[in-house]
Amino acid sequence: MVHEVEALTAVAPPLPGRAFIRQHWRDAVFLHWRVDPAIVRPLLPPGTRADTTPDGATWVGLIPFVLERTAFPPLPVVPWLGTFLETNVRLYSVDEQGRRGVVFRTLEAQHLLPVLAANAGLGLPYRWARMRSSRRDRDLAYASERLTGTRARTRIRIRTRDEALRDDPLADFLTARWAMHVGRFGRTAYYRNQHEPWLLFRAELLELRDELLADSGLPGLALREPDSVLYSPGVTTTFSLPAEPR
According to DSSP, the residues that pair with 146 across neighbouring strands are 129
pLDDT of residue 231: 98
Give the confidence band of 17 by pLDDT, cuts at 50, 70, 90: confident
What does the pLDDT look like over 173-226, one tens digit per residue?
999 999 999 998 889 999 999 999 999 999 999 999 999 999 999 999 999 999
Q: Which fold has domain 19-240?
A: Acetoacetate decarboxylase-like (2.40.400)
In angstroms, rounded to a whole number, what is the distance separating the alpha carbons of residues 71 and 75?
6
Residue among 51, 46, 56, 58 nearest 218 (CA) = 58
What does the pLDDT look like over 24-78, one tens digit per residue?
999 999 999 999 999 999 999 999 999 999 999 999 999 999 999 999 888 888 8
pLDDT of residue 191: 94
What does the pLDDT look like over 90-139, one tens digit per residue?
999 999 999 999 999 999 999 998 899 888 888 999 999 999 999 999 99
How is the chain classified by DSSP, letter by letter?
-PPPPPPP-SSPPPPSS-EEEEEEEEEEEEEEEEE-HHHHGGGSPTTEEE---TTS-EEEEEEEEEEEEEE-TTS-BPTTTT-EEEEEEEEEEEETT--EEEEEEEEEES-HHHHHHHHHHH---EEEEEEEEEEETTEEEEEEEESSTT--EEEEEEEEEEEEP-S-HHHHHHH---EEEEEETTEEEEEEEEEPPP--EEEEEEEEEESHHHHTT-TTGGGS--SEEEEEEEEEEEEEPPBPP-
Q: Please state the rounded mean pLDDT for residues 77-82.
A: 81
Give the confidence band of 1 by pLDDT, cuts at 50, 70, 90: low
CB 88 within 8 A of CB 106: yes
Q: Could you tell me the residue ranges of all domains in the chain?
A: 19-240
Question: Does the model's pTM come out above 0.75?
Answer: yes
pLDDT of residue 243: 63
In angstroms, rounded to a whole number, what is the distance separating the alpha carbons of residues 221 and 213?
7
What does the buried/exposed string (b/e) look like for 49-79 if buried means 16 or more CB atoms within 10 Å of the residue's CB? ebbbeeeeebbbbbbbbbbbebbeeeeeebe
Arithmetic mean of pLDDT over the chain: 94
User: Phi/psi at 98 (nearest 5 deg)?
Assistant: 80, 15
Is the pLDDT assigned to residue 156 strictly greater than 60?
yes
pLDDT of residue 245: 43
